[in-house]
Amino acid sequence: MGKYFGTDGFRGEANKVLTVEHAYKVGRFLGWYYSQENGRKCRVVIGKDTRRSSYMFEYSLVAGLTASGADAYLLHVTTTPSVSYVVRTEDFDCGIMISASHNPFYDNGIKVLNGRGEKLEEEVSDKIEAYIDGETGEIPFAVREEIGRAEDYSQGRNRYVGYLISLATRSYKGMKVGLDCSNGSAFSIAKNVFDALGAKTYVINNEPDGTNINLNCGSTHIEVLQEYVVENQLDVGFAYDGDADRCIAVDENGRVVDGDLILYICGLYMKERGMLDTNTVVTTVMSNIGLYKALDIAGIRYEKTNVGDRFVYENMVSNGHRLGGEQSGHIIFSKYASTGDGILTSLKLMEVMLEKKEKLGKLTSPVDIYPQLLKNIRVKSKPEAREDADVKKAVEKVADALGNDGRILVRESGTEPLIRVMVEAKTDELCEKYVSDVLEVIKAKGHEA
């Protein structure tokens, strides 16, 4: 990770950590850099989520891009995967998504995608950081007819909607589907897709006002959709985050189907139909032991990466794997997308349900998920807390106590000043005890911020 760019772009509280000046300089650098790299006028497509500050950052980015001679094409409010789709299918040099994903409305972020619709290479983000900090030379301003322009490009978003619809294998007629759009980007896309496919669509949290994105709704507050599915006797529900690159599902009984269960359902289905090239599912180190045991029984191999969908995707591309993702709901189907895509994930789950004529609850039944507890602690220095000898000793003590009946994972957040402590064990009580044991040592050693 760099000074500004973490595992998922440049993120922080708007105009405190991430300012309009930062956005302007990001635009200035990208407009100049890609023009130099490709020997032609740079073309950049920009999307944003529903946060109040997204408009401010959009205008700042456009000013920077056009001042460097680049043309900016505006998708307006849209999802991160739609930006990725437009970049890779319509010959753009790069794409920018303005979003802080599942964070509260007062945070925002700048996610940059390369010309293949993938997360930006670290070497390029390092160059952006050097420019922001004044460590490189000045970038010339474009003048006269070389100054760039900004254009409405809502047709790109519409083509993405058409692409999603084209992926469905059956009509959804007769299916009662609930969608929690998190008052975010999905509000302008998800219902249109499900309606077009014939579902009876029930939508909640689709009235964004700039400050209610992710507020007690969406994939990080799945209990809202759970209650809604049960009350309305729906067949299935799907919850998205602010920029709709992740999906958490709810089955017909109101039970949560997280990213691990989605990987199992789709992995088994793809294996049965000869679509799981390499017979491997890519996970992160956060995936549950129960998933691995179920994959073992199904005869499906798996690989583990660091937390972050960029690491999952890099592994998939390097090894030719077709399916990967995170417990949090970032699921990547590499045949169809180069990022996690919440709405696409919904469609693939619908495909399994309809083709196998099974309810979602039945499809998840072979997986016995272990109790898991994750707690975060805000710290003064992530490396110092993580490497403290007494903290490491406490972690080793828990690992020894768990043996083969669980595990502990302590890691640094990629986007916030947090240490995350996760324990899986046979009971919730054991999870609570062992997480608390480690957190108490971190606090006792003075690392808590």
Can you tell me the distance from the alpha carbon of 328 to that of 3, in angstroms, rounded to the nearest whole number?
Answer: 25
As given in the structure block, the two tokens for residue 331 are: 């699921």
> Length of the chain in residues, anyone?
449
Torsion angle of alpha carbons 115, 117, 123, 127, nearest 10°?
Answer: 70
Using CA atoms, how far residue 174 sits from 39, 127, 228, 340, 359, in Å, is: 53, 52, 18, 28, 13
> In a 3-state reduction of DSSP, which class is residue 288?
coil
> In a 3-state reduction of DSSP, which class is residue 9?
strand
Starting at the edge strand found earlier in the chain, the sheet holding 372-378 runs 372-378, 418-424, 407-412
Q: Which residues are annotated as a binding site for Mg(2+)?
A: 101, 241, 243, 245
Q: Which residues are catalytic?
A: 101
Long-range contacts of 162-169 (CB under 8 A, 24+ apart): 163/85, 164/189, 164/193, 164/343, 164/344, 164/347, 165/193, 165/196, 165/197, 167/336, 167/344, 167/347, 168/197, 168/347, 168/350, 168/351, 169/351, 169/354, 169/355
Spatial contact of 419 and 413, defined as CB atoms under 8 Å apart = yes
Can you tell me the distance from the alpha carbon of 341 to that of 318, in angstroms, rounded to the nearest whole number?
Answer: 20
Q: Which residues are annotated as a binding site?
A: 101, 241, 243, 245
Can you tell me the distance from the alpha carbon of 429 to that of 129, in angstroms, rounded to the nearest whole number?
Answer: 45
As given in the structure block, the two tokens for residue 416 are: 């916030």
Spatial contact of 28 and 79, defined as CB atoms under 8 Å apart = no
Give me the phi and psi of 249, to 5 degrees please. Answer: -105, 165
Closest CA to 436 of 67, 425, 41: 425
Distance of CA 55 to the CA centre of its chain: 21
